[in-house]
Structure 1
């Protein structure tokens, strides 16, 4: 027997066994060999595709209505001054640029709110009830609910509310209003009795779809 030939074959067999062992150990440790990279990617891609198709609608809170145009005014009685006083207020606005469930709705709607609070020129904290009459083309019933308004911060009032009856009962309503002008000087003799505003952020309605 040729001992050199046997020795050479033995070395090749051992080298092959070591290489195979290295692949097995690598897979056991989660380290894929270079040639297996393509095969590893296929199940991950398939999993992602299945997950994407499984998400028929979003979970949790989602915006179902958005109106980009909110323009109007708030009237105050007796009016805002530098010191805090009890106020009665009424907000009236025109809504436009409304999108309902992804569909643009022509025409305009209205937002009104009866409010009260202890307010001054620098600090307003009002609460009350609101009514939204949606554009006629939407086919929606009016929405009513409770609302609070705080601010202003950098001339912006934050508005938040919750629907209690009509369209979108239980939904969250919100917008931000930029104060664009006022009537009066904010003094004891010349109180601010009217503030005009435009939308700083759209009026949105969010429902829990979870």
Structure 2
């Protein structure tokens, strides 16, 4: 009984080896043909073939501006259709505008939208309109300006606190007293 199984395994091994040999044979033949054809396409080039190549390049150079104009025309046509559609929608509303903008709805009671800047005097007119209209925070110049303003306010608050304190309170905060100074002199 052991022999039929051995025969079956030998048959299966031969079939698998034959299968993989055929696959590798096809792959090797394809690589050889590709290399041979590539070499022949450059080595055995006729005058007629060079004429076709040069003619194709010249034809492409001549027709390219017209192809670009075609795509530009298609793009402009789509833009025109969108613009007409928006104008029709405006005409349907008879120039009426919404009582509340989307930003005011998002802001809620606070009146501030994400990315809206408090300091209008530091922003240029264009940047201000961009930040207020889009509602999207600007993470470059505007963020640096907000940081500078925050630091200035922090310095002002610290300065006011120091001005409000008397000299005795400052010494008390620093934990200095004349008796300590005298003790230090005696130790030295």
- TM norm structure 1: 0.21
Larger fraction in strand: 1
- TM norm structure 2: 0.23
Higher Cα Rg, which structure: 2
Greater RCO structure (CA 8 Å; 6+ sep): 1
Larger fraction in helix: 2
